[in-house]
Amino acid sequence: MILYTMTPHDQIFPSDEESFSRYVAVNYNGVQLLAEKQENNDYRVDRIISTDPAHYLDETIQPGATIRF
């Protein structure tokens, strides 16, 4: 199998299971996100899981943004 992607090798084939255990899928305002749990119930958005282009233009959920539950 050949993967033509810009994604780093470590993200596709992680060396340990701990690297994925810190990420959780969350639903924030109706948008599915992959986020990393931070302190005080904050999450740092890593990826938007959506096919709606409008979700990618929303500045509050852009990758790197911090959201709170």
What are 20's two structure tokens?
């994925």
Number of structural domains, the chain? 1
What are 49's two structure tokens?
């899981």
Contact indicator for 50, 32 with CB cutoff of 8 Å: yes
Instruction: Indicate whether 32 pLDDT > 80.
Output: yes
Instruction: Indicate whether 14 pLDDT > 80.
Output: no
Instruction: Indicate whether 21 pLDDT > 80.
Output: no
Quick check: is 40 in a domain? Answer: yes
Quick check: is 10 in a domain? Answer: no
Structural domain containing residue 27: 22-68
Quick check: is 17 in a domain? Answer: no
What is the pairing mode between strands 66-68 and 42-48?
A: antiparallel
Q: What is the DSSP letter of 15?
A: S
Quick check: is 3 in a domain? Answer: no
- Residue 31 is predicted with a pLDDT of 95
Residue 17: pLDDT band by 50, 70, 90 thresholds? low
Quick check: is 49 in a domain? Answer: yes
CB-side neighbour CA atoms (13 Å) of 44: 7
Q: How far, rounded to the nearest angstrom, does the alpha carbon of residue 51 sit from its chain's CA centroid?
A: 14
Percent above pLDDT 70 for the chain: 93
Quick check: is 9 in a domain? Answer: no
Considering the entire predicted model, what is its pTM? Answer: 0.69
Percent above pLDDT 90 for the chain: 55
Quick check: is 14 in a domain? Answer: no
